A and B are shown apart, each in its own frame.
Chain A
Amino acid sequence: MAPSFDHLRDEDLDEEDFDMDEVDISDLREKYEVSLEQGYDTFVVVDGLPVVTEEQKPKLVKFLLKKLNTVGKAREDSIDMPMGPDGKSKQFAFVEYSTAAEAAAAVRQLDFTPLDKKHTLRVNKFTDIDRYGREGRVEEEYTAPEIPPFEEQEHLRSFMADPSGRGRDQFVMFRGDSVGVFWNNEKDQPENIVDRPHWTETFVQWSPLGTFLTSVHAQGVQLWGGASWSRKRRFAHPFVNLVAFSPNEKYMVTWSNRPISIPDEGHPSLSLDDDGKNYVIWDVETSKPIRSFAQLDTPTSVDENGAPRKQKLPWPAFKWSADDKYVARLNPGSSISVYELPRMNLLDKTAIKIDGVVDFDWAPATVQRDGVKTYEQLLSFWTPELGSNPAKVGLMTLPSKQVIRSLNLFSVSDVKLHWQSEGAYLCVKVDRHSKSKKSQATTLEIFRVKEKGVPVEVVDTIKDTVINFAWEPKGDRFVIITTTEPVGPTAVAPKTSVAFFCPEKAKGNAVGNFKHLRTLDKKNSNAIFWSPKGRFVLIGTIHNQQSADLDFYDLDFEGEKPESDKDLTANLQLMNTADHYGVTDVEWDPSGRYVATWASFWKHKLENGYHLYDFKGEQLREEPIEGFKQWQWRPRPATLLTKEEQKAIRKNLREYSRVFDQEDAERINSADVAVVQERRRLLEEWYAWRAQVEEELAEEREVLGLPADPVADLLNAKTAAIAPGQEEQIIEEIMEEVLEETEEIVN
């Protein structure tokens, strides 16, 4: 109840011993104190200048102006460089910009700008200098910062060591409100490692090498890990929606659709410069923000009918090179901004201008091109037809920004770039329209990136529209899904065909031309999931009301090879077809031994839960779980074994597998024995209980003087009433059955 005068008691009104002076209002004063620094917001202090004399001063000022004017407007007379009594400058200057925004931009962009080899500019706000450097804020005596004693941290990769010694993989499950991490136990109940209610507010995500589990909250993102599953990092990005890591877990990008608003009292990790930004790039090691970006206001494009096209959020907006050295963002239609890590400065201080650029992608691995000795990262991009200029696909090398290969294309309606996992191939899927724009067809332009001169091979035997494409990881085969019908939001999913391609056999180490292996018609499939180790592929129908087939294929089937395929490097075999009603997601475990499929509560509310299959498509487990949302296998970092060691293992696989088979058999046997014993116990228990109950019942009956069967007398009485004095009636029914029929011709 809100206080009001009606409820005031007398003692509350007692003001006798109330002393104004005793009230401490210092906190209020601090809070509401009028800030006197206003008006100095346009000033910055430039530090780290070289020592100059009065004569050299104008030269330096001029030089400095060039730098300063890249972010705003500063005039010669707005630079005040104080000189010491010895006629030499004091290595700093005050600069006045025309607006506060320019001053802020100067601090953000010019701080740490190298002037020459010896000097680096430091730019600070004048008000900050005053705030931090005010009297009393800086101690007169220098005290060395205290270095906390070294604390042993727990091993973040302890998850690699399965306590059961079976090399099982972990996965996280998010169902209902709780998140749990489990060991995969194949057919048996997964072994729970940790389970916490309300661990995340929206979703969970592993970091790319499996070190951390990411939880997402309104206040920001948290990373968890180690054997204790304690919090390892936190990144306070308010109202964060999405998270993406760099491939090596060094950096993280967070995005919120709400621009960051820094409250007056400040923010624990973000500064005023981050105000109004949507993206923050963080250093995972230190949990410090490196740089923030605002959302690009993409011009709302219009389709042929003049209606505004639906804007899709480009995610990941920031794409990382394979080695975490660069991160790039597309400025649709004009350029690609490439930033250098760890400073997040724009590479060569300017975005790479590419007129009309629609999309780009980094090579997913650091590629060693034929005859190229220097360090490079590759990036592919494409531009549509502009006027009479053809559409273009380009392959650019960084940091030199040279386009090493480009391809001109005509009649292009859309292009998709598909890198093979090792960056050895880049497949450009080109959707072409005929002159009349009525029919569609797809060609595949495959860049052989590692070969000299980057030859491009064209696959143009496809008649229909390709709706899905996937390279075999670490391999050189691919699968496409095509449809003859236009793809649109139809109630019934279109009939599709699945086509397999592989290279021809070639001499030596060379990879032959890509050839069509087989096409399977009349499917509903719409998704391709390769095993992360290659060879096996699951092709399925997901997000479909009518059908949910999951086909498991082997591309290196060890059985007989059809004569027609003898020149090809694949032998295709359908291993199994499974059915998981309502499946929405599919994920292979990192070892390529198991596949999890699940029906997520986020997509629909029917039969939520998961299935677990082995790579052959044999179902191991099925568990319906109410409110099942998410499953994610814990990724594993790359193996530490050398190529030779891996080869040796593969050679002696038979030896190893014998040991493992034996272990498995023993484990299953002991589990079976346990189950049988448990059943035996249950059975004994039940019959013992029954015997006891029956005995009690008989006793009670006797005590009450009741007959053993309460109904027998009644039935006898009734029988007597129905047929008094009559014997039991026997009704016989004769059934005839023809056992055999034979025809005989007489004479």
Chain B
Amino acid sequence: MRPILLSGHERALTQVKYNRDGDLIFSVSKDQQICAWFAHNGERLGTYHGHVGAIWTIDVDPTSTILASGSADNTIRLWDIKTGKNLKTWEFPTAVKRVEFNSDGSQLLGVTEKRMGHLGTIVVLDVKIDVEAEQTDEKALTIVCDESKATVAGWSYLDKYIIAGHEDGSVSQYDGKSGDLNFNIQIHELDSPITDLQWSQDRTYFITASKDKTAKLITAKDLEILKTYPSDTPLNSAVITPKKDFVILGGGQAAMDVTTTSARQGKFEARFYHKIFEDEVGRVRGHFGPLNTVAADPTGKGYASGGEDGYVRVHQFDKGYFDFMYEVERERQNKLNQQ
């Protein structure tokens, strides 16, 4: 599994995203630019200029037409993927830490930072997936997180709920339409921030990564913990792989401690766990800084990781990955084949 090294960023990566077809990769970093790449060969398609602060987050609509990005310059911007044109800019009082399109791309949520007297919020914006259309200025919804600020958030199946992970390690479920808080559950250790939240393909369950060194698989409907993946390092990101039952965790010693440790001790590895059995099945080395973000190709062919070291590493899985099966899995497969 020889990775493709994407070295287009000058500073730490913050998020990497595949489009729905898995042929494009979008990456954002603290160096204020968005890069678009071809997934199959790592060629750079282009960059998107306009932000004047570190970019924290990126998302692409399901038809790969429009890009949304959130930045420390307190804006969410929409971009025309094809031309690189900045279509729309929404201003907020604080930095935007996470954006995500809903399942049909008609709405966009944004998580804003708690700072300078402003409480952290989750805003919902109506979006038209049309590069020609006029985008509305109005927010469709604003959820204020007065307890602990949200660090990550996303849309559940049917856009029924908005699920948010908080700085105190808890997870909240909000009604997707009204924004009312349904409930809040302490999922991770108290006061270990949730650093990532990524969905299964049908958005009925999701995985959270936390600084408490664990990742957890949680149902969207009841916020029930299905699985726990323990590791030995604070985690920054976690993703569920499509097609095969794995999860990939990324993390590493916190950036401030790294100077005193060598790459050997930093645990800068992508870790593969079996989604159902919770066993660690493998690790992929390569980064020389903590992994800030991992993303899986929606078609199940590969994954990409972005590190504090400024590199994106794109991996195409090889045959061994697809062939690997636990005995009981093979047993089940054979049974299904017979039927």
Cβ-based interface call for A607 (8 A)? yes
Contact between chains at B327 and A676 (CB < 8 Å): yes
A683's partner among B104, B205, B276 (CB-CB below 8 A) is B276
Contact between chains at A718 and B328 (CB < 8 Å): no
B328's partner among A676, A697, A710 (CB-CB below 8 A) is A676
Contact between chains at B328 and A683 (CB < 8 Å): yes
Measured between beta carbons, the chain B residues less than 8 angstroms from A714 are: 62-63, 104-105, 129
Closest to B331 in A: A680
Contact between chains at A679 and B105 (CB < 8 Å): no
CA distance A715 to B103 in the complex (A): 13
Cβ-based interface call for B339 (8 A)? no
CA distance A349 to B204 in the complex (A): 86
Q: Mark B299-337, 1 if CB is under 8 A from A, else 0.
A: 000000000000000000000000000111101100000
Contact between chains at B158 and A700 (CB < 8 Å): yes
In the complex, 13 of the A-B residue pairs with CB atoms within 8 angstroms, ordered by the A residue number, are A607-B265, A676-B328, A680-B331, A686-B245, A686-B276, A687-B332, A694-B204, A697-B157, A697-B202, A710-B103, A711-B103, A718-B63, A718-B65
Measured between beta carbons, the chain B residues less than 8 angstroms from A147 are: none
Measured between beta carbons, the chain A residues less than 8 angstroms from B245 are: 686
Contact between chains at B277 and A679 (CB < 8 Å): yes
Measured between beta carbons, the chain A residues less than 8 angstroms from B261 are: 606
Contact between chains at B265 and A606 (CB < 8 Å): yes
Measured between beta carbons, the chain A residues less than 8 angstroms from B276 are: 682-683, 686
Cβ-based interface call for B20 (8 A)? yes
Closest to A609 in B: B232
Cβ-based interface call for A704 (8 A)? yes
The interface residues of chain A, by DSSP majority, are classed as helix
Q: What is the interface size of chain A, counting residues whose CB is below 8 A from a CB of the partner?
A: 25
Contact between chains at B204 and A697 (CB < 8 Å): yes
Cβ-based interface call for A693 (8 A)? yes
Q: Mark A254-274, 1 if CB is under 8 A from B, else 0.
A: 000000000000000000000
Q: How far is the CB of B234 from chain A (nearest CB, A)?
A: 12
Q: How far is the CB of B88 from chain A (nearest CB, A)?
A: 19
Which of B204, B245, B261 has the most chain A CB atoms closer than 10 A to its own CB? Answer: B204
Cβ-based interface call for B264 (8 A)? yes
Q: How far is the CB of A306 from chain B (nearest CB, A)?
A: 37
Measured between beta carbons, the chain B residues less than 8 angstroms from A706 are: 158
Cβ-based interface call for A167 (8 A)? no
In chain B, residues 120-160, which have Cβ atoms closer than 8 Å to a Cβ of chain A? Answer: 129, 157-158
Measured between beta carbons, the chain B residues less than 8 angstroms from A704 are: 158
Q: How far is the CB of A623 from chain B (nearest CB, A)?
A: 10
Q: How far is the CB of B214 from chain A (nearest CB, A)?
A: 13
Other 19 A-B pairs with CB < 8 A, given A679-B277, A683-B332, A715-B63:
A581-B264, A606-B261, A607-B232, A676-B328, A679-B328, A680-B328, A680-B331, A682-B277, A683-B329, A693-B202, A693-B205, A694-B202, A697-B157, A701-B158, A706-B158, A711-B104, A711-B105, A714-B63, A715-B62
Measured between beta carbons, the chain B residues less than 8 angstroms from A697 are: 157-158, 202, 204
CA distance A582 to B328 in the complex (A): 38
Q: Mark B81-94, 1 if CB is under 8 A from A, else 0.
A: 00000000000000
Measured between beta carbons, the chain B residues less than 8 angstroms from A694 are: 202, 204
CA distance A682 to B62 in the complex (A): 33
Q: How far is the CB of A692 from chain B (nearest CB, A)?
A: 10
Q: How far is the CB of A198 from chain B (nearest CB, A)?
A: 21
CA distance A302 to B2 in the complex (A): 62
Contact between chains at B328 and A711 (CB < 8 Å): no
Q: How far is the CB of A685 from chain B (nearest CB, A)?
A: 8
Cβ-based interface call for A624 (8 A)? yes
Q: How far is the CB of B207 from chain A (nearest CB, A)?
A: 14
In chain B, residues 230-250, which have Cβ atoms closer than 8 Å to a Cβ of chain A? Answer: 232, 245
Measured between beta carbons, the chain A residues less than 8 angstroms from B331 are: 680
Closest to B276 in A: A686
CA distance A358 to B72 in the complex (A): 69
In chain A, residues 691-720, which have Cβ atoms closer than 8 Å to a Cβ of chain B? Answer: 693-694, 697, 700-701, 704, 706, 710-711, 714-715, 718
Measured between beta carbons, the chain A residues less than 8 angstroms from B205 are: 693
Q: How far is the CB of A682 from chain B (nearest CB, A)?
A: 5
Closest to A689 in B: B226
Q: Mark B49-64, 1 if CB is under 8 A from A, else 0.
A: 0000000000000110
Q: Mark A323-341, 1 if CB is under 8 A from B, else 0.
A: 0000000000000000000
Contact between chains at A679 and B158 (CB < 8 Å): no
CA distance A693 to B220 in the complex (A): 11
Measured between beta carbons, the chain A residues less than 8 angstroms from B62 are: 710-711, 714-715
Measured between beta carbons, the chain B residues less than 8 angstroms from A582 are: 265
Q: Mark B194-229, 1 if CB is under 8 A from A, else 0.
A: 000000001011000000000000010000001000
Known: A711-B63, A714-B63. A679 touches B326 (CB 8 A): yes
Q: How far is the CB of A662 from chain B (nearest CB, A)?
A: 24
Measured between beta carbons, the chain A residues less than 8 angstroms from B104 are: 710-711, 714
Closest to B157 in A: A697
Q: How far is the CB of B112 from chain A (nearest CB, A)?
A: 27
CA distance A704 to B245 in the complex (A): 30
CA distance A606 to B265 in the complex (A): 7
Closest to A714 in B: B63
Measured between beta carbons, the chain B residues less than 8 angstroms from A700 are: 158
CA distance A704 to B104 in the complex (A): 15
CA distance A683 to B264 in the complex (A): 35
Closest to B62 in A: A711
CA distance A714 to B127 in the complex (A): 14
Measured between beta carbons, the chain B residues less than 8 angstroms from A682 are: 276-277
Contact between chains at B63 and A693 (CB < 8 Å): no
CA distance A704 to B103 in the complex (A): 15
Measured between beta carbons, the chain A residues less than 8 angstroms from B204 are: 693-694, 697
